[in-house]
Amino acid sequence: MIKSKFPDLTPGQIANRLVKTAVLPDAEKGLSLPDEKYGYGIIQPLAALKDNIPVGSKYGPLTVPESLKEKSAAPALDASDDEQGKADQKALIIWAVVGVATLTVIGLAILLIVKRSRRRRNSEGGPAGPSGPVAYPQYGQQPHTQQNPYQQPVSPQPHNPYQQQPTPPHSQWPPQQ
């Protein structure tokens, strides 16, 4: 709530507003703050929002060592929004490049695996077996069938007038009787 009302305050300055408006219970008045049991007191958010309180140190109510105060060039604390935006944009670009490279490597690995399995299947004879590919007859030719010497001869069927006639060659279309 305080950050939304005072957007320019640092976290330490927000803590300073909370500490300055904190109160001790009536029975405990006169304690030196911060107290072991109560700290700086009970916070009052409404008072922290409404009261006119000086901004104070960017580090808040706590004492800061001199060595830390002299380090004002800390990039993480003093980075502007523009610098942070540029850093975020660089990080996004780096992650995008890493993602594209990873997808490329995975795609190449899958491609190699598929090609190897096809090559292995073809060298082992593939779907036709080790004898090689099956030759299919051309259109209009009769397939070559081996004769079985033990097969009984087939007697020709008597002519059936209701049997479907074979389709005529392409040169005779429509069929002529």
Is 15 contained in some domain? yes
Do residues 20 and 62 share a domain?
yes
pLDDT at 172: 59
Contacts of 89 (CB under 8 A, 6+ apart): none
How many angstroms separate the CA atoms of 164 and 154, rounded?
A: 21
pLDDT at 88: 87
Do residues 57 and 112 share a domain?
no
Band (29; pLDDT cuts 50, 70, 90): confident
Mind listing the pLDDT tens digit for each residue in 83-109? 888 888 899 999 999 999 999 999 999
Mind listing the pLDDT tens digit for each residue in 37-74? 778 788 888 888 888 888 877 777 777 777 776 655 44
Contacts of 20 (CB under 8 A, 6+ apart): 48, 51, 53, 56, 61
Do residues 50 and 14 share a domain?
yes
- Of the candidates 44, 45, 41, the one whose C-alpha atom is nearest the C-alpha of residue 27 is 41
Is 44 contained in some domain? yes
Whether the Cβ atoms of residue 15 and residue 60 lie closer than 8 Å to each other: yes
Checking phi first, is residue 88 left (phi over 0); if not, alpha (psi -120 to 50) or beta? alpha
Mean pLDDT of the 1-28 span: 85
Return the half-sphere exposure (C-beta side, CA atoms, 13 A cut-off) of residue 99: 6
- For the full predicted model, state whether its pTM sits above 0.85: no
Between residues 144 and 162, the one the model is more confident about? 162
Do residues 64 and 86 share a domain?
no
Do residues 56 and 16 share a domain?
yes
How many angstroms separate the CA atoms of 16 and 10, rounded?
A: 10
Is 42 contained in some domain? yes
Do residues 56 and 105 share a domain?
no
Please give the tally of structural domains in the chain: 2
Domain of residue 98 covers 81-123
pLDDT at 99: 95
Q: What is the DSSP string of 46-94?
A: HHHHHS------TT-SS---HHHHH-TT-HHHH--HHHHHHHHHHHHHH
How many angstroms separate the CA atoms of 15 and 101, rounded?
A: 46
Residue 37 — φ and ψ, nearest 5°?
Answer: -85, -40
pLDDT at 126: 52
Do residues 55 and 96 share a domain?
no
Q: Of the ranges 5-14, 34-43, 76-85, 125-134, which one carries the lowest mean pLDDT score?
A: 125-134
pLDDT for 21 beyond 80 = yes
Mind listing the pLDDT tens digit for each residue in 128-140? 555 555 566 666 6
- Structural tokens at position 34: 């911060």
Is 161 contained in some domain? no
Domain end marker among 29, 48, 69:
69
Domain end marker among 91, 108, 123:
123
Is 131 contained in some domain? no
Band (176; pLDDT cuts 50, 70, 90): low
Whether the Cβ atoms of residue 12 and residue 60 lie closer than 8 Å to each other: yes
pLDDT at 111: 95
For the chain, percent of residues with pLDDT exceeding 70: 66
Do residues 60 and 88 share a domain?
no
